[in-house]
Amino acid sequence: MKSNNFVKLLLTLVASLISFIPFYITINVAFKPMTDMSSRWLLPKELYLGNFVTAIEKANIFGAMKNSLIITLFSVLIIVFVGAMAAYPLARIRNKFNRSVLNLILAIMMVPPLSILVPLYSNLSKMGGISTYWGIIIIISTFQLPLSIFIYTNFIISIPRTIDEAAMIDGCTDFQIYYKIILPLLKPVTATVIILTGVAAWNDYQFSLFFLQDPKMRTVTLAISSFFSQSSSNLNAAAAAALMAIVPVVIIYIMLQKYFVKGMIDSAIK
Amino acid sequence: MKEIKRKKFRHNHMSTNLMYVPAILLFFLFVIYPMLTGIKISFTNWNGFSQTYKYVGFENYIAMFKDKNVWSSFSNTIIYGVGSTIFQQIAGLSTALLINSKFKGRTIGRTIIYMPVLIAAVIMGNMWYFILQYDGGALNDILILIGKEPVDWLTQGNLTVWIIVLVNTLQFYGISMVIYLAGLQGIPQMYYEAADIDGAKKLSKFFNITVPLLMPAISTSVVLNLIGGLKLFDVVKALTNGGPGYSTHSLSTLVNFTYFNNQSAGYASVIGLLLFTFIIIVSLVAQKFFKSKEVDL
């Protein structure tokens, strides 16, 4: 039994190490000066911080983080608010019409963003939404909304209807029931929605690449990828930039790990 | 009596349904309407920025069916989708089975394997560049160490497509692992106990109990990975940008390339429609297939 556990531990260790390789290599590259030609598998002899200085100055990482933060915050706000509201009638009034509305929303989840890129771009540019916060926020929100509606609808269905009926007997209108009774019950599932859609908004690349053309509007993913293509001669600085971009995400993940994993499962399994 | 009660305390349909109007409005404006515009653009020779364009009928469609680059991107897309899905199920299920038993260190394993899922795919792709790069790449360091010639991993055409599949798998198999873990934990222990009494072997227990009862998890994981893989964009963009030539383009990167580099919006729209139709068909078929395989407890 004991040796069996040892084999399992060993295999888990191997799998974890493989997953960790890209992080390990990036750390090594980020802390070595450009002149250090030693293998990327070897740890740096000393912690050289010059690459981080270059990355902060040239890639404007902090400006990009500010943009990403604003976009993520407002997107999540819209996704939670509009999603939770839409889910209530979809969960409570289960007639044929509402079922087809729900199916339509789930079908939107499958639409590959790139397949409607061309018309979306021309429509948004007519509205003056290219390279604006509101343009990208509304696009990211729209494409994350189906997930939020899906999670909220499933959750509200699991809340007993008798609660609604009791409130109706007391003379509450539907909106009052939603606002005073259902909404407070949504707190735990809202954590899931915030984490899932927040990560998606923060990591967005496809939409940002098209709709944020102005360098001042660059988000973290855009700043890193454009810095990479510019600095093929100084990949060490690029590694430092990538490292700075992922450290906040990794820290939040390790702190709130349980919620991340639970959220993933909630969203995937009906 | 019951009927009357039901009728009286019912949700007010009309006004309550208003609550999903904002969401529907967003979907209409930014998904459905663009989709319809896209169909219109696909019949034109619009270049993406000029004020004027001509309707060209089915010219773009005919051109697409004759275009070798579209079909090579299409076959790459299938490899990205199906290849990643197969690898992700194998890696996800094996690590889930491993981590599902109790031993020290399993939580740390789960934490690290799931971590890449949260990193932006484009940044992860850039990080893999340090490993796959020809000059000084970490993978070539190993080849040199064992006395082999270094390889330019990112310009090998079909091989590079499979390398991108592996990079995508390693980043996202944590999702499958977590779904399978949840599925495994939902299988009642009594089935295994009953099988033990009957003297069932380990392998027989796996195929006769674990796999059938895991079907909902398998279905979720496969459909999720399949759609994700068929939409693949970020990793390709970061590692090869579709090149060299058109050899590693997915349909997603090809749409982007056709629109911005070749400036043919009409043609890009047709490729976009191909991608859309293909993904919808695949996911509907996959869901139907798995629905027929699920068993009730």
pLDDT of residue B9: 58
Taking the Cβ of residue A267 and every Cβ of chain B, the question of whether any pair is shorter than 8 Å is answered with no
- Do A28 and A92 share a structural domain? no
- Do A104 and A85 share a structural domain? yes
A136 vs A7, more confident:
A136
Mean predicted confidence (pLDDT) in A76-97: 91
pTM of structure: 0.88
pLDDT of residue B164: 95
Taking the Cβ of residue A5 and every Cβ of chain B, the question of whether any pair is shorter than 8 Å is answered with yes
- Do A137 and A103 share a structural domain? yes
Is B162 a member of any domain?
yes
pLDDT of residue A168: 85
**Which residue type, as a one-letter code, is found at position A36?**
D
Is B129 a member of any domain?
yes
Q: Name the 3-class secondary structure at B147.
A: coil
Residue A237 lies in domain: 51-268
DSSP string covering B213-279: HTHHHHHHHHHHHHHHHHT--HHHHHHTTT-STTTT--HHHHHHHHHHTS--HHHHHHHHHHHHHHH
Mean predicted confidence (pLDDT) in B59-67: 87
pLDDT of residue B2: 46
- Do A88 and A29 share a structural domain? no
| Number of domains forming the structure of chain B | 1
Taking the Cβ of residue A92 and every Cβ of chain B, the question of whether any pair is shorter than 8 Å is answered with yes
A118 band by pLDDT with thresholds 50, 70 and 90: confident
- Do A163 and A82 share a structural domain? yes
Is B5 a member of any domain?
no
Phi and psi torsions of A234, nearest 5° = -130, 70
- Give the torsion through C-alpha atoms of B188, B192, B193, B198, to 10 deg: 140
Is B11 a member of any domain?
no
Average pLDDT score, chain A? 87
Q: Could you give the CA distance from residue B41 to residue B269 in angstroms, rounded to a whole number?
A: 7
A164 vs B127, more confident:
B127
pLDDT of residue B284: 86
B53 vs A145, more confident:
A145
Asked whether the predicted pLDDT for residue A169 surpasses 70, the reply is: yes
Neighbours of A2 (CB within 10 A): 6
Q: What are the tens digits of pLDDT across the range B40-58?
A: 888 888 887 777 788 888 8
Is B255 a member of any domain?
yes
Q: Which two tokens stand for residue B44?
A: 């034109």
| Number of domains forming the structure of chain A | 2
Is B23 a member of any domain?
no
Q: Could you give the CA distance from residue B269 to residue B37 in angstroms, rounded to a whole number?
A: 9
CATH code of the domain containing B66: 1.10.3720.10
- Do A55 and A40 share a structural domain? no
List Cβ<8 Å contacts ≥24 apart for B256-263.
B256/A114, B256/A117, B256/A209, B256/A210, B259/A117, B259/A118, B259/A121, B259/B48, B260/B48, B263/B47, B263/B48, B263/B49
Interface test with B, best of A82, A118, A165 (most B CBs within 10 A): A118
Mean predicted confidence (pLDDT) in B240-254: 90
- Do A73 and A15 share a structural domain? no
Asked whether the predicted pLDDT for residue A96 surpasses 90, the reply is: no
Q: Which two tokens stand for residue B173?
A: 């198999």
Residue B219 lies in domain: 36-293
Residue position matching structure tokens 């038993």: B101
pLDDT of residue A256: 85
B296 band by pLDDT with thresholds 50, 70 and 90: low
Rounded percentage of chain A residues whose pLDDT exceeds 90: 27
Is B153 a member of any domain?
yes
Contact: B275, A15; criterion CB under 8 Å = no
Task: Lowest mean pLDDT of B4-13, B160-169, B192-201, B250-259, name the range.
Answer: B4-13
Nearest-Cα distance to chain A for B122, in Å, is 7
Q: Could you give the CA distance from residue B155 to residue B248 in angstroms, rounded to a whole number?
A: 9
Residue B44 pairs with which residues in a beta bridge? B55
B236 band by pLDDT with thresholds 50, 70 and 90: very high
Taking the Cβ of residue A254 and every Cβ of chain B, the question of whether any pair is shorter than 8 Å is answered with yes
- Do A56 and A29 share a structural domain? no
Neighbours of A258 (CB within 10 A): 8
Mean predicted confidence (pLDDT) in B269-296: 84
Average pLDDT score, chain B? 87
- List CB contacts (< 8 A) between B114 and chain A: 260-261
Which of A37, A118, A149 lies closest to B268 in CB terms? A118
Contact: B126, A101; criterion CB under 8 Å = no
- Do A184 and A83 share a structural domain? yes
- Do A112 and A38 share a structural domain? no
pLDDT of residue A208: 92
Mean predicted confidence (pLDDT) in B285-294: 81
CATH code of the domain containing A181: 1.10.3720.10
Mean predicted confidence (pLDDT) in A88-103: 88
pLDDT of residue A269: 63
Q: Which two tokens stand for residue A91?
A: 């969960």
Q: What are the tens digits of pLDDT across the range A180-216?
A: 888 888 888 898 889 889 999 999 998 998 899 888 8
Residues in CB range of B116: below 8 A, 6 or more apart: A19, A22, B124, B170, B171, B172, B174
- Do A151 and A71 share a structural domain? yes
Q: What are the tens digits of pLDDT across the range B196-218?
A: 888 888 888 888 888 888 888 89
Nearest-Cα distance to chain A for B287, in Å, is 12
B295 band by pLDDT with thresholds 50, 70 and 90: low
Is B29 a member of any domain?
no
- Do A126 and A20 share a structural domain? no
Which of B26, B233, B275 lies closest to A142 in CB terms? B26
